[in-house]
Amino acid sequence: MYKRILLAYDGSQSGQKALLDCQDLAQWSQAELALVAVLPINIGLVSTEGGVYDSDMMESEKAGMQAVLDEGLSRLQAAGHQASGTLLIGDTVDEITGYAKKIDADLIVVGHKHLDGWAARWWKSSISKALIAHAHCSVLVVIIR
């Protein structure tokens, strides 16, 4: 079945549900687990007319995202899984799909929360939808309501 599963983890409620589902799937298929967290490249930009890069903000966000990644890895290890973890920086979809190709993942797992109202769905782009469109392998979208 699956040999390598990549979990895109952000620590959110849907991400935590995906982590739980991923554990079960990995145990069932005896797959290797890789956990990634992605820090968007534009996080250190302060919106001004000229655009200013704030390295302190970037380092703070990087440390926060590393803590989220470490927490996810700890949860997997506490459940008896061996997993690797990598913090990626860049466009979320490009980084996840690129890393999945790099490790030759058979499956990408990502959490998704349905947004209420058409305006919220229109305004916020769907990472899971973009992953399905761009991934070289299967994508499992774990949905919470």
Cα separation, 89 vs 44, whole angstroms:
11
The CA distance from 127 to 104, in Å, is 20
With contact defined as beta carbons under 8 Å apart, do 99 and 87 qualify?
no
What are phi and psi for residue 106, nearest 5 degrees?
-90, -20
pLDDT of residue 85: 95
Q: Consecutive sets of 10 residues in the chain, 145 residues long: mean pLDDT of each?
A: 92 86 86 92 56 74 92 91 93 95 96 61 66 94 83
pLDDT of res. 120:
45
| Three-class HEC string of 102-117 | HCCCCEEEEEEECCCC
pLDDT at residue number 38: 93
